[in-house]
Amino acid sequence: MAGNKCVVYVEPGKVKVENIEYPRLELKEQHRKCNHGVILRVIATNICGSDQHMVRGRTTAHKGQTLGHEITGEVIEVGRDVEFIKVGDLVSVPFNIACGRCRMCKAGNTHVCLNVNPERPGAAYGYVDMGGWVGGQAEYAMVPYADWNLLKFPDKEQAMEKMKDLTMLSDIFPTGYHGAVSAGVTTGSTVYVAGAGPVGLACAASCQLLGAAVVIVGDMNPERLAQAKSFGCETVDLRKNADLPDMIAQIVGEPVVDAAIDCVGFEARGHGKDAAEAPATVLNDIMAITRVDGRLGIPGLYVTGDPGGIDENAKTGQLGVNLGLGWAKALSFTTGQTPVMRYHRQLMMAILNDKIQIAKAVNATVIPLDKAPQGYKDFDKGVAKKFILDPHGLIK
């Protein structure tokens, strides 16, 4: 069989597309067979902000780390133990790998599966410390526990027509939605979303889908704020030296919201035009502007190993969070990876029945796999786009 082009990490600020081994139904790093898996021809695979953390050198990723955890594809080979997924099926792949058998999976907590990563709970494709599973920014990919993990699209022709939307089911749409649900967003809520990157925009669109009355998006990037405005969000420009509660009050009439979501993570910056990195900023912001007894969704990524951290504490994930304020206000926090399987089927139905245009909200932009290095550079500059890689030229 031919090789397999895949995006790999080279050094801080640099990725390249190179040939790697064609996938097999096994995971060499863990010395395990995957007869329960399938091989996919990748139809769409996206560049994620979490990938950018690695590419910026802000994790312990090694040279040659394969990249890509947002995968949609067509099944071209099935393992001996696969019963229900068939060759030819078009499927969405949750970014978190789960066995379907352990205590966590049976409780619906597929983001912290106990069996797919020998180092700690939870695993993902193409990510540092996530079990050694090969990345999916590639022509072909292997997916284990296929009957459990894969979401089959009911109509292939319809799915191909809506591929720019459906590819968001692998990560950012469920992640944004999980952030909103975790924060208690419901009919009539006032909501603050920190960050207007793809996850923040997906979260804002999810808040609207859930019935929020006002969705406010905060960022320092004018292009991304304009993208949030394009589908009906209010915005606050954090380059200004005004207090965030005051800016919130100008929009909703009081300096607090019902719910707030952190879609930035550990590379957060302070406020003001020339603000430096201050990784606890967003966490402290959302505690300050959420009403008492409110809930905070924190899908933004935080790590335990950051070589580029601003100080020794930040390098190990210890941040200056004002927990006393959170305690005094009786706030609830939800952190961690998103359990994609908890949401992806209903979000698929929302897409297929035209209840949301998630690709439009995040400005989905299709590029060839070979253009991935330029896509990473543009994304790092802050363009208001979600890059979809099209390895085989099949997306309309």
Give the tens place of pLDDT for each residue, 249-298. Answer: 999 999 999 999 999 999 999 999 889 999 999 999 999 999 999 999 99
**Amino acid 40: pLDDT:** 98
Give the tens place of pLDDT for each residue, 199-212. Answer: 999 999 999 999 99
**Amino acid 122: pLDDT:** 97
Give the tens place of pLDDT for each residue, 40-62. Answer: 999 999 999 999 999 999 999 99
**Amino acid 27: pLDDT:** 87
Rounded to 5 degrees, φ, ψ at 381 are -80, -10
Is residue 1 pLDDT above 60, yes or no? no
Is residue 192 pLDDT above 60, yes or no? yes
Binned at pLDDT 50, 70 and 90, residue 88 comes out as very high
Give the tens place of pLDDT for each residue, 245-254. Answer: 999 999 999 9
Is residue 38 pLDDT above 90, yes or no? yes
Residue 12 DSSP symbol:
T
With H, G, I as helix, E, B as strand and everything else as coil, classify residue 323.
helix
- Report helix, strand and coil shares of the chain as percent, to nearest 5: 30, 25, 45
DSSP string, 216-236: EEEES-HHHHHHHHTTT-EEE
**Amino acid 30: pLDDT:** 82
Angle at 338 between CA 124 and CA 225, to 5 degrees: 105
Mean pLDDT of 156-173: 98
End-to-end Cα, the chain, rounded Å: 27
Please give the structure tokens belonging to residue 75: 């099944």
170 closest CA partner among 388, 12, 10, 16: 388
Q: Look up the pTM and report it.
A: 0.97
Domains identified in the chain and CATH numbers: 4-171+339-390 (3.90.180.10), 172-335 (3.40.50.720)
Please give the structure tokens belonging to residue 309: 């951290």
**Amino acid 32: pLDDT:** 87
In the block, tokens 């068939």 appear at 86
**Amino acid 391: pLDDT:** 98
Mean pLDDT of 340-353: 98
- d(CA 332, CA 346) in angstroms, rounded, equals 25
**Amino acid 274: pLDDT:** 86
Task: List Cα–Cα distances, 314 to 96, 119, 128, 287, 299, in angstroms.
Answer: 25, 22, 18, 20, 18
